[in-house]
Structure 1
Amino acid sequence: MRWFEIALVSLTLFTGAVWLLDKLFLARRRAAHADRIDVEAKEPAIVDYSKAFFPVLAVVLILRSFVAEPFRIPSNSMMPTLLTGDFILVNKFTYGLRLPITNRKLVDIGAPERGDVVVFRPPQHPDQDWIKRVVGLPGDRIEFVDNQLIVNGKPVEYLPVGTYTGVGKGAEMTGATELVEKLPGREHRVLETPDIVGFGQSVWEVPAGHYFVMGDNRDRSDDSRFWGFLPEKNIRGRAFLIWLNCEGWFCSGAFDTSRIGTRIP
């Protein structure tokens, strides 16, 4: 929600500027004027509101920009790990501190690891926030042959779980094959759709400063297999926790309380 970020930054700067201007100049001018005409100096409404809202807005902006930011999952591309309607928290400092809106890195702290679930702005849609799993690091050779992932020449092991049963907006995935993908350093579950022909054979060499990302719902994900590598500068943070699940933008549908507090593998 880039518009929310812009609005939050704008309101914080505006209320802060009004509060500072009043503290440095306007308050003394009002007091002097009130002494001359023997009346009580009253703050304008805009000053009163700014003083009340600025601390709150500043705290929210700092927490959202540098600590953790909430996101909502809008599609089935990360099933079975993440479901449509999941509200997640994204760690904003794991990979370094970044400025809001521009996403420019201020402090370099770490880098994405293979298996991390990351929120990012895709190169082809820079105003949108997407979420996928990192499967390829800079310098890696990634192959995907008929739904078999191969990392640096080593086929990733898969363990069958069974037939998946979807619920809610994920019901369309009922009947898919659920597997444990033993990605080096991070095991997680993926879905494959039996009636969809395999992806074929493709090979990618991940360049420096970029990552190769894929959705866990392999046959329902628009990811690096189709649009290329993810630049490091586009990454917003690492998803780590589901804090709510409900259907509908205003949670007008059913709640799934079992997902509250679930860590994202």
Structure 2
Amino acid sequence: MDLSNKVVLVTGAGIGIGKGIALHLAACGADVIVNYRSSEKQALEVVEQIQAMGRKAIAIKADISSVKEINAMIEQAKEAFGTIHVLVNNSAYCPTIDFFDVTEESWDEVLDTNLKGSFFTAQACAREMVKHGGGKIINISSVHALLTMTKYAAYASSKGGMNALTRQLALDLAHLNIQVNAVSPGATEVEKNLAHPLHDSLAVGKQIPAGRIGMPKDVATVVAFFASSASDFVTGQVLTVDGGSSTQFYLKSVD
């Protein structure tokens, strides 16, 4: 997937799936804006890895639950690179909270980041994309949009909304040559899992038809397809990357 001369913004790119996406798109030739919310150190490490590939990269701090911070991030990106060709809406907040313990504040924090933030980041980037004849928006959804577990009320709701948002944006932006698609990962090995004392990637992998847990690269390669010209006639689609987990009737929750 050739992304040479493309400028890509990946939200939540300092860790996890976002980091994997940022590195893979850089390997495909893109220059990358690494958005982060909390850890500048982690974001700068991603920037250094991208620069070591011979690509340009910068880190920009912004909490995408705030439209003001989104707009400031886009202005910084324009100052550094002139425009944005591809947006990957990856930033997400995923707490596990018992149904009766969900508060208005915890609900809003999830929906403001995962859904509101994705919409307004897409809106801001699309304004830049139309200036050069089109672009690509890739939303990172989740299998929780369709098949979920207990304690994910706000998160699952936000990702169900993400799938609907993907279809809506695809319709609204098709005439502007902006394709909008989503990637829906299943269980994926990321830093927060590795740090969890009860997490066992082998145990999780045994429950997945493919025989292993997913890796960020598995998601990133699909994102690269949606970001490239190979997907110019594909829009409004949600592609699940879960090793076949969603084909099963039952998947045991692993805390």
Q: Which TM-score bucket, shorter chain as reference? A: under 0.3
Q: What TM-score do you get using the length of structure 2 for normalisation?
A: 0.23
Q: When you count helix as a share of all residues, which structure comes out higher?
A: 2
Q: What TM-score do you get using the length of structure 1 for normalisation?
A: 0.22
